[in-house]
Structure 1
């Protein structure tokens, strides 16, 4: 049995229940993992509220780290006793232990802590696909990144600095802006006190940016399009303020033959070999010191509701983990 966070209905943080749940043995292509820490992400909120519907009842959580306890038939890249970390479907990472598909579970290098492993997989692999698998980016390009002081944002700031990319961040307080600057953002705009679209244009001599990376959604969508240079790429990869409403595709032509994409991490890591390659790239950045994982909040698994409340209220910076 393992303590596991379950929902039986969609709703607020109060719908999450910590229950004892049988773990079982891994079948073909599966592993059983005992978790050391679990990561917290906005996708967990989307699933809890029903924005991304799950078949109920269902456990929550998309990333964690721990030790492999058993492997099923056909699993060759992991063995019992291995340290491991993952970001993976199906949800169920908010647990002391679980059985799950092995393909997206990655061996965790010995010199990366379990806490960092739990905090970095979903966010770090997201940065990998944003910078390397979505649209070509090269040294000297300029990126606008919303929520630059969040878990994904602070990794993105460091990643951009390590590759010679100018990152203009936005954040909701001066302290958060300073945090983004400290982690490698070239500029950071307080969107509550400044006209961030005008500031982006000013910082780019009126040209706009090459790429926008926007996980905020509804509140920033129009401004993000207006911040792009002609032929620029809009990457909409989240809905923290709510989903982007329908829009006329013709507006992309009017604003300069813009491009837009709505990727998900789980498409990029669906292939086992691609997932392991992306993880290796992420681990390399962390082990080199180019990227440091900043964990600013830790909650016991039993306090998962408080963790969700803090995330939704935008009271968190960096990454948040649940300890088990």
Structure 2
């Protein structure tokens, strides 16, 4: 029986140089599913973990998202069998491996119609976008949707899912050089993130926005509320404004976010009957598998019908995880960044 697998491991928190490739021990197969991994998905939550924001005990295997083929079972189950193609997800990390063993509730079958690389790109980004748009945002025909960061894996997924609803207009912010690609993905109005984009968007959408998808949080919430329609909503997905240093999250960044949240005025919501929602997909996957499966099946059907298609920015060999992580951390990607574990 296999006891180790090639993995991306960190032994200390810090910059890209803490990412190491090594053979790392596998947990016992009992009560678990063994998966030969084909691709891993890179996500911003992995950056938080690498920088030590969650103070996770060291050392540990990086990565929250992978897909591959089941090669062994350490339990009796009617849900899975050897040879099934599955997505594996765990917010607590442990997925950047050539072979992984995990519990069955962290595995989700991939339909035959979906290629493995698209399976690796579809789970977290599209689930998060679906919950933000449909479950919390209540998107419907005629909505004006503002996506704070429309060029990454989540932003591309949110754009495609929003376009499945008739007569939706999408406004998005992106870094310089990505404008044409996000327009091709379906964004109607594109703004450079170094410009006065909120005032520019107000000129293009003077009536205001029905829904804002925000990945910064902090003081930006007050500004976002100013451009909402009556009954408009902001869905807060993360606090990526803290990630401005590849080696650490500074105390200043944490304080800036904390002060920004404290400065948020409840009257900003009450004046126009607005609401702010928070979304943590990791907790949803852990606590409400039934709802996750329902939404995932809707997403799979949209894929089969040709209404969505994951935009993959680049695929890197596992040995080049540092370079791949820089693409994501420096926000150079348009779409999903993947690792491949097989030659």
SS of alignment partner, residue 260 of structure 1: strand
Partner of 2:276: 260
Give the one of 113, 138, 141 matched to 1:139: 141
Deviates more, 1:56-65 or 1:81-90: 81-90
Q: CA RMSD in A?
A: 1.9
Is 1:100–2:102 an aligned residue pair?
yes
Cα offset, 1:258, TM superposition: 2.7
Partner of 2:150: 148
SS of alignment partner, residue 241 of structure 2: coil
Cα offset, 1:222, TM superposition: 4.0
Cα offset, 1:153, TM superposition: 0.9
Give the one of 112, 115, 128 matched to 1:113: 115
Cα offset, 1:249, TM superposition: 4.1
Q: TM-score, normalised by structure 1?
A: 0.92
Is 1:294–2:311 an aligned residue pair?
yes
CA displacement 1:254-278 (0-9 Å, x = unmatched): 6534311221002322222222222
Partner of 2:336: 319
Q: Supply the distance in 1 between the matched residues of 2:290 and 2:74 (Cα, whole angstroms).
A: 19
- The equivalences for 1:154-233 within 5 A come to 154-164=156-166, 165-173=168-176, 175-193=177-195, 195-205=196-206, 207-218=207-218, 220-233=220-233
Distance of aligned partners of 1:253 and 1:184 in 2 relative to their CA distance in 1, 3 Å threshold = closer
Distance of aligned partners of 1:75 and 1:53 in 2 relative to their CA distance in 1, 3 Å threshold = farther
Is 1:88–2:56 an aligned residue pair?
no
Distance of aligned partners of 1:251 and 1:45 in 2 relative to their CA distance in 1, 3 Å threshold = farther
Give the one of 285, 288, 310 matched to 1:269: 285
Q: Supply the distance in 2 between the matched residues of 1:186 and 1:77 (Cα, whole angstroms).
A: 42
Q: Supply the distance in 2 between the matched residues of 1:221 and 1:13 (Cα, whole angstroms).
A: 31
Q: Supply the distance in 1 between the matched residues of 2:320 and 2:81 (Cα, whole angstroms).
A: 32
Which consecutive residues of structure 1, in runs of 5 or more, have no partner in the other structure? none
Partner of 1:20: 23
Cα offset, 1:221, TM superposition: 3.9
Partner of 1:66: 68
